[in-house]
Amino acid sequence: MSAERSRLSVRDLLSETAVALTARPARTVLTALGTILGVGALVTTLGLAKTAGNQIVSRFNELEATEVVVSPQSTGFGDSSRSLNVIPWDAEARIERLNGVVSAGTVSDVDVGDKLARSVPVVDPQGQTEFQIPVVAASPGLFEAVRASLFTGRFFDQGHEDRADPVAVLGPAAAQRLNVTRVDNLPVIFVGDEALAVVGILGDTARRPDLLGAIIVPNQVARDRFNLAGVESVEVDVAIGAAELIGAQAPTALAPNAPEQLRVAVPPSPRRVRSDVQDDVNALFLALGGVSLLVGAIGIANVTLVSVLERTGEIGLRRALGATRRHIALQFLTESVALGALAGVIGTSLGVLAVVVVSATREWSPVLDSWLPFAAPVLGAAIGLVAGTYPAWKASSTEPIAALRGVA
């Protein structure tokens, strides 16, 4: 008769583990609690950092990530005329040639001195009819570049610009002060003594909110009638992702001779924003998560060790029934790994839940790296493995008869 080797099938090992873990469910959960909290904290931290980072990025994406503003380099005081002349009058045409530009337009504050704006040519002694309203000179493309909408009427166009037609578009606040509510009756306003035909009233703008309270006139009108010296800045609406490129190209396109005299404001790159946010949030909470994981590992190790001592009778019995030392070690190791993995799954679930709840209260869209829910239980299992090694070794080196003689 040959000697058959003792064996333990994987299926039996797993079912023994399942029975052992479910025999005392409350104890199992308490043992796993530290690891649950640790994994949960890690998942929550990583998830919230990702969510918050993504949130800020998406806000940039909406407007600011597509906005490039070019203006002359500040040259200190007393030299404004020189710097104002850096940007040519045909800036709009030059910029719109660049690939990646959606629309562009110049915008310049016009110095009208103490001239007041009024909508009627006569002075009404009963009420205030004259106001100090800022005048802004713009190229026709500006309206699109600031994503302006119309309340009524129309924007002025290249034809008005070319002909130097005395027209104006009013911001809604300016229109209200001047008591202009419609344009179909061809209202005329006066800035000082210059008459301007109102062709449209703005509804809103996404950028340059100062336009809402201003009288907007074509560049040529501002030059002819208000002595505008030069273009102050160029607003560029770019395609998503093109901001950096346009920011690099615009100065050369505008001022080939002196690109260094132009200052370009581009949105911060999304990557940088994300990493900044994550660095801030992560450092502290990852440390916290790490500490709870350590505590969790110690918890598993501790309880598993106690249960080894408690189950010496069972260990002896299993040895007597044909288990090898390896089988015993394997059983305890499997139990602690399963416990760790279970804790990982529960912790991950709680973490994801926390991310979703926090996101819901902040009205964010929760974002999670797709590998995270899978990696976290593996991390839990690894913790179980580390924590279970010593108890498993201890269990496997239990002397069977001594164990069996002890009180069960």
Partner 1 sequence: MRLRRKRAEPMAVDDDVTGDLWPGMPAEPSGGDPVPVVLLHQAGRTFPGPPPVEALKPTDLVIERGEYLAIVGPSGSGKSTLLHLLGLLDSPTTGSYHLDGIDTVTLTEPERAGVRAARIGFVFQAFHLLSYRSIVENVMLADLYRPGARERRRDRAVEALVSVGLGHRLEATPATLSGGERQRVAVARALVSDPSLLLADEPTGNLDTATGEQILALFDELHGRGLTLAVITHDDSVASRAERVVGLRDGQVTEDRRVGSGVR
Q: List the structure tokens of 182.
A: 């419609």
Taking the complex as a whole, the smallest distance from the CB of residue 36 to partner 1 amounts, in Å, to 23
Taking the complex as a whole, the smallest distance from the CB of residue 11 to partner 1 amounts, in Å, to 8
**268 vs 400, which CB is nearer to partner 1?**
400
Q: Which of 316, 347, 366, 380 binds partner 1 (CB under 8 A)?
A: 316
How would you label 17-52 residue by residue, b for 16+ Cβ within 10 Å and e otherwise? beebbeeeeeebeebbbbbbbbbbbbbbbbbbbbbb
Contact 106, 142 (CB under 8 A): yes
Q: List the structure tokens of 11.
A: 């299926």
**28 vs 51, which CB is nearer to partner 1?**
28
Q: List the structure tokens of 171.
A: 């911001």
Burial class from Cβ neighbours inside 10 Å (0-12, 13-18, 19+) for residue 202 reads buried
Q: What does each C-alpha distance from 346 to 19, 55, 179, 229, 398 come to in angstroms? A: 19, 27, 65, 69, 33
Half-sphere exposure at residue 160, Cβ-oriented, CA atoms within 13 angstroms = 24
Taking the complex as a whole, the smallest distance from the CB of residue 31 to partner 1 amounts, in Å, to 16
Q: Which of 97, 163, 326, 362 binds partner 1 (CB under 8 A)?
A: 326
**Contact flag: residue 407 with partner 1 (CB under 8 A):** yes
**Contact flag: residue 186 with partner 1 (CB under 8 A):** no
Q: 317, 295, 294: which is closest to 395 by C-alpha?
A: 317
Q: Which of 102, 313, 350, 375 binds partner 1 (CB under 8 A)?
A: 313
Give the x/- contact pattern for partner 1 in 329-358, rule: CB under 8 A: ------------------------------
**Contact flag: residue 404 with partner 1 (CB under 8 A):** yes
Q: List the structure tokens of 154.
A: 């129309």
User: Distance (Å, rounded) from C-alpha 406 to C-alpha 404?
Assistant: 5
Q: 212, 213, 106, 217: which is closest to 156 by C-alpha?
A: 217
Q: Which of 239, 306, 378, 408 binds partner 1 (CB under 8 A)?
A: 408
Helices (H), 311-324: 312-320
**Contact flag: residue 320 with partner 1 (CB under 8 A):** yes
382 Cβ neighbours under 8 A, 6+ residues apart: 340
**166 vs 316, which CB is nearer to partner 1?**
316
* Number of shown-chain residues binding partner 1 (CB under 8 A): 35
DSSP secondary structure code for residue 210 in this structure: G
The one segment of 2-10, 47-55, 78-86, 256-264 that binds partner 1 by CB under 8 A: 2-10
**Contact flag: residue 406 with partner 1 (CB under 8 A):** yes
User: Distance (Å, rounded) from C-alpha 396 to C-alpha 332?
Assistant: 9
Strands 194-204 and 149-153: antiparallel
Angle at 109 between CA 106 and CA 111, to 5 degrees: 140
User: Distance (Å, rounded) from C-alpha 186 to C-alpha 41?
Assistant: 66
**Contact flag: residue 223 with partner 1 (CB under 8 A):** no
**Contact flag: residue 10 with partner 1 (CB under 8 A):** no
78 Cβ neighbours under 8 A, 6+ residues apart: none
**360 vs 408, which CB is nearer to partner 1?**
408
The one segment of 55-63, 102-110, 290-298, 310-318 that binds partner 1 by CB under 8 A: 310-318
**Contact flag: residue 230 with partner 1 (CB under 8 A):** no
Q: Which of 115, 263, 274, 325 binds partner 1 (CB under 8 A)?
A: 325
Taking the complex as a whole, the smallest distance from the CB of residue 388 to partner 1 amounts, in Å, to 20
The one segment of 80-88, 173-181, 182-190, 313-321 that binds partner 1 by CB under 8 A: 313-321
Q: Which of 314, 347, 368, 383 binds partner 1 (CB under 8 A)?
A: 314
DSSP secondary structure code for residue 127 in this structure: S
Q: Which of residues 11-70 bind partner 1 (CB under 8 A)?
A: 11-12, 16, 19, 23-24
Q: Which of 56, 164, 245, 317 binds partner 1 (CB under 8 A)?
A: 317
Angle at 221 between CA 216 and CA 226, to 5 degrees: 90
Q: Which residues pair with 354 in a beta bridge?
A: none
Angle at 38 between CA 344 and CA 364, to 5 degrees: 90
**Contact flag: residue 142 with partner 1 (CB under 8 A):** no
Give the x/- contact pattern for partner 1 in 264-303, rule: CB under 8 A: ----------------------------------------
The one segment of 10-18, 79-87, 117-125, 245-253 that binds partner 1 by CB under 8 A: 10-18
Q: What residues line the site for partner 1 (CB under 8 A)?
A: 1, 3-9, 11-12, 16, 19, 23-24, 313-314, 316-327, 400-401, 404-408
